[in-house]
Amino acid sequence: MSEETRNNLLRQGTILAVAGIVVRIIGMIYRIPLANIIGDEGNGVYSVAFNVYNIALILSSYGLPMAVSKMVAASLTKKEFRSTRRIFVYSLLFACCSGGLAALVIFFGADWLADYVYTGYAGIELPLRVLAPTIFIVALLGVVRGFFQGHANMVPTAVSQVFEQIVNAVVSIAAALILVNAHAGSANITGYGAMGATFGTCFGALAGLICVVCWYLAGRRAFMAQVDSCTQVRQESGAQICKMILFTAVPIILGQTFYQISAVFDDILFGNLMAAKGFSSEVISGNSGVYNSIYVLMISIPMGIASALASSALPSIVRSFTLHDMNEVKQKIHSVIKFNMMIAIPSAVGLMLIGEPIVRLIFPRLDYVTGGIMLRVGGPAVVFYALSTVSSSILQALDKMKKPVVHSAVSLVLHLILVSGLIYFTDMGAYALVIGYMTFPVIVGILNMIEIGRTIGYRQEWKRTFALTTACALFMGLCTWGAYKFIYAVLQNNLYAVLAALAVAMVTYFGPMTAFGNVEKP
């Protein structure tokens, strides 16, 4: 792999990764006033409704961006521009059907879910009805983003993600505040607060769709010029393209479904088993709110980088695989895994050691002590999810579409057995969810890496990717923890201590990494 190719792969990944970080920082910032407005119980209902929305989104359209990206990248590599256009058009039609059906099911099934499935979460039908049309919007948005990603252009996706999150933040806070004040004293105020928070998701997705559509229209003339000049003779029929979309998207959807459905099952198991043990809905929603609003939110920030790298790596690996250049495929796999671990490992160490002070700074009105313990226990989930996410994308690029599905199914079965046993037979409470969340991706990542080795003879380099990176991260962690303790003891100010600790973290991690020549430059 040439230096230019490697740099472009990492550069595109970095663009999405930076956008992902910005999006999650905005998400973390706006969740501070939002959490204060709707409270722990409102956060619990909001988080559970969002999990239902996620599973519906995954079943209907989650695989579309990566499927479209993979198909577009393959057709562009062969210079079949007419096929590229047809793939785009039929993918939009597919998104309208799948996203529209899922939206209708959630909208009209909200009451049934509230009455028979999520009995421990009062008012959950309200946010579900707002999230229903969002599914349709996001389905279309995913297709357009996948089209650009297939062209190895991650900028439209990155810009639209940031724009989407800004609109989401503003509308969520405003709508939640209006609805909570309007229904103050109502028995269903929790549901209305969660409903307000989901309005931001809907309007944010619409803003993102408008952004990428404008970007497409700006470049449409150049793209159509390629289509008009294309000498391609054979073209796939609409039925063939839809079949390609299904065979590409369904395995991606199923693989992610097993991950997301684990969160849905966790909510159901936690709500029903804790209720069976005599806990009230307020306690259940409160504990679930801390778990989802603190632990899952904080873990998702570095995990977003893994998703970004997976999205950017897939079309690049597809192109090399289509050209049968196995050496370049292996080098790209090594680069994306190593770059991923450079971010994931120190993130995990940092969350484990100074997660509680950060949570206390961000969410002072929430149970930051419990949230900090959750991060201390479940911080390694960042590394496990990073590896499982990227390795699943690699297998999809290598046309091993079914393997991540099988691996996720195996992990899900073990996950459900573990979580249900911990909730019912122990007094761990929400910590059982943390253990389950952390262990789910371990099996997926291990099985994925074994399969990649079998498929192309790839062997992961461990010394620099894992051992040296971990050593530098542990050194950083000790220095960061010591800096926080020292500054806090002197100034008795959590804000100054956290800022000083983060500054020390940057120097004490990237300093040794650079000295040992272990930094992948994008």
pLDDT in tens, 167-198: 999 998 998 888 888 877 666 677 788 888 88
Residue 5 confidence (pLDDT) above 70: no
Q: Which residues, at least 6 apart from 496, have a Cβ–Cβ distance to it below 8 Å?
A: 487
The tokens of 155 are what?
Answer: 């900028």
- DSSP three-state, residue 366: coil
Query: CA 193 to CA 40: how far, in whole Å?
Result: 11
Cβ atoms 127, 198 nearer than 8 A: yes
What integer pLDDT is reported at residue 117 of this predicted model? Answer: 67
More confident residue, 352 or 427: 352
What integer pLDDT is reported at residue 215 of this predicted model? Answer: 93
What integer pLDDT is reported at residue 120 of this predicted model? Answer: 62
What integer pLDDT is reported at residue 392 of this predicted model? Answer: 87
Q: What angle do CA 380, 381, 383 make, to 5 degrees?
A: 70
- Asked which of 8-17, 218-227, 338-347, 484-493 is least confident by mean pLDDT, the reply is 8-17
Please give the average per-residue pLDDT across 224-248, as a whole number.
76
Please give the average per-residue pLDDT across 8-12, as a whole number.
64
DSSP letter for each residue of 120-143: TSTTTHHHHHHHHHHHHHHHHHHH
DSSP character at residue 466: I
Residue 208 confidence (pLDDT) above 70: yes
Please give the average per-residue pLDDT across 33-59, as a whole number.
78
Q: Which residues, at least 6 apart from 62, have a Cβ–Cβ distance to it below 8 Å?
A: 142, 252, 253, 256, 257
Residue 107 confidence (pLDDT) above 60: yes
Query: CA 81 to CA 72: how far, in whole Å?
Result: 9
The tokens of 339 are what?
Answer: 């770059």
Average pLDDT over all residues of the chain: 84
- DSSP three-state, residue 246: helix
pTM for the predicted model, two decimal places: 0.72
Residue 476 to residues 27, 229, 306, 505, 507: CA-CA distances in angstroms? 26, 55, 21, 6, 8
Rg (CA), the chain: 23
Query: CA 69 to CA 61: how far, in whole Å?
Result: 13
Question: 125-150 and 155-182 helices cross at what angle (nearest 10)?
Answer: 170
Please give the average per-residue pLDDT across 397-403, as a whole number.
84
Q: How confident is the model at residue 522 (pLDDT cuts 50, 70, 90)?
A: very low
- Per-residue model confidence as pLDDT tens digits over 128-144: 888 999 999 999 999 99
More confident residue, 391 or 116: 391
Please give the average per-residue pLDDT across 370-386, as a whole number.
89
The tokens of 406 are what?
Answer: 């099988």
What's at 124, amino acid-wise? I
Q: Return left, alpha or beta for 39; rule: phi > 0 is left, psi -120 to 50 is alpha, else beta.
A: left
What integer pLDDT is reported at residue 309 of this predicted model? Answer: 67
Question: 81-112 and 189-229 helices cross at what angle (nearest 10)?
Answer: 170
Percent of the chain at pLDDT > 70 equals 90
What integer pLDDT is reported at residue 96 of this predicted model? Answer: 92
Backbone angles phi and psi of 384, in degrees to 5: -65, -45
More confident residue, 129 or 264: 129
Cβ atoms 497, 480 nearer than 8 A: no
Q: How confident is the model at residue 119 (pLDDT cuts 50, 70, 90)?
A: low
Query: CA 475 to CA 516: how far, in whole Å?
Result: 14
DSSP letter for each residue of 11-33: HHHHHHHHHHHHHHHHHHHHHHH
What integer pLDDT is reported at residue 232 of this predicted model? Answer: 67
Q: How confident is the model at residue 56 (pLDDT cuts 50, 70, 90)?
A: confident
Percent of the chain at pLDDT > 90 equals 24
The tokens of 251 are what?
Answer: 């395995």
Query: CA 374 to CA 466: how far, in whole Å?
Result: 24
Query: CA 143 to CA 149: how far, in whole Å?
Result: 10
Q: Cα 233 from chain centroid?
A: 40
- Per-residue model confidence as pLDDT tens digits over 409-465: 899 889 889 988 988 888 888 888 888 888 888 889 999 999 999 999 888 888 889
Residue 520 to residues 1, 5, 87, 140, 361: CA-CA distances in angstroms? 15, 13, 35, 34, 32
Q: Which residues, at least 6 apart from 146, have a Cβ–Cβ distance to it below 8 Å?
A: 64, 65, 66, 67, 68, 69, 72, 91
Cβ atoms 40, 366 nearer than 8 A: yes
Cβ atoms 305, 17 nearer than 8 A: yes
